[in-house]
Chain A
């Protein structure tokens, strides 16, 4: 008798479990995914400064003054414009060191497309003058090879690199108050 009740209730149990599973899927963010880079060392690079190309940046110079937030951005990226004022606030009010990785979409020499770097410099200067400048400096990742090594899918994306050169956080999308408080700030304070 008891066995019979369980057998009869089985479809209902399966249904409820399935319902819970699908409901969870309905409210999850499909763009959210684990980064493969967390806990790994920052990939090696030697890249020029965006504004003064004679200056070369690399991992050692990046972490020389302690932990840093790497922010992948571009003037073409609309969401980046929204996070510029907030990142500037982080720099001015909390003393967060932010270094930009300039991600340009157009550069593809294998298909005969080249970026207009002087124009990028003008656009960058204009934009940070208008919306705030959170950056210590900008690294020009023209062939996006560093971005590929960092698992960057687009802009904006942000990383926390600690003073040992280990990647501690990887956020895809804009940094805002909510993201800073819930995800980045705890890791930043720990890295500091």
Chain B
């Protein structure tokens, strides 16, 4: 008896949560309808690419700011009047500046963004080639005969030293 009432109240709680969630989502969604599917596609493209000027980093599709709503309504109006994507973007940029468009044009200020990484990579490749060349020259050095004798001597001395050390170590262990 107790278990069933508990189950029932749990069911009610779960259902009410689901109901509230669905209510919430339908309350925030606006219904924007188009008769022409091509215009609908264009509208969806545009509201994703236009940036809400009141917000720091949101497109107008994402924002609930009044200005974003107004821009969506204006975008719909312009698209339905047959304007192209560029015309709608130009319309918004003329009022809100380049800030309102998520794809900034290539000009002196933005060229840096493209050029700096390319310059950096070129420099790095140049450095790598230079380094590997210098390394290649060093390793391909042939020991000439005048050097060979002194090198042999050094090697012998080192070998003698290490064998001596090993000997001392084994003696110490004993």
Same assembly? yes
Chain A residues close to B by CB (< 8 Å): 30, 33-37, 105, 108, 110-111, 144, 147-154
Q: Which residue of A lies closest to B69 (CB)?
A: A108
- Between-chain CB contacts (< 8 Å), 30 pairs: A30-B56, A33-B97, A34-B97, A35-B97, A36-B95, A36-B96, A36-B97, A37-B95, A105-B66, A108-B69, A108-B73, A110-B73, A111-B30, A144-B70, A147-B70, A148-B67, A148-B70, A148-B74, A148-B95, A149-B95, A150-B95, A151-B95, A151-B96, A151-B97, A153-B53, A153-B54, A153-B65, A153-B96, A154-B54, A154-B67
Q: What is the CB-to-nearest-CB distance from B87 to chain A, in angstroms, rounded to a whole number?
A: 16
B102 at the interface (CB under 8 A from A): no
Cα separation A108 to B95 with both chains bound (whole Å): 21
- Given contact pairs A148-B74, A153-B53, A36 touches B94 in the complex (Cβ within 8 A): yes
Interface size class of B (residues with CB under 8 A): 10 to 19
**A110 / chain B contacts, CB cutoff of 8 Å:** 73
Contact A151 B71 (CB under 8 A): no
4 tightest A-B CB contacts, nearest first: A36-B97, A151-B95, A153-B54, A153-B53
Cα separation A151 to B54 with both chains bound (whole Å): 10
Contact B99 A148 (CB under 8 A): no
Q: What is the CB-to-nearest-CB distance from A150 to chain B, in angstroms, rounded to a whole number?
A: 7
B12 at the interface (CB under 8 A from A): no
B93 at the interface (CB under 8 A from A): yes
Cα separation A163 to B129 with both chains bound (whole Å): 65
Cα separation A33 to B67 with both chains bound (whole Å): 16
Q: What is the CB-to-nearest-CB distance from B29 to chain A, in angstroms, rounded to a whole number?
A: 11
**B95 / chain A contacts, CB cutoff of 8 Å:** 36-37, 148-151
**A36 / chain B contacts, CB cutoff of 8 Å:** 93-97
Cα separation A154 to B67 with both chains bound (whole Å): 7
Q: Which residue of B lies closest to A37 (CB)?
A: B95
- Given contact pairs A153-B53, A154-B65, A148 touches B93 in the complex (Cβ within 8 A): no
B 51-86 to A, binary, CB cutoff 8 A, 1 in contact else 0:
001101000000001110111011000000000000
Contact A144 B71 (CB under 8 A): no
Q: What is the CB-to-nearest-CB distance from B69 to chain A, in angstroms, rounded to a whole number?
A: 7
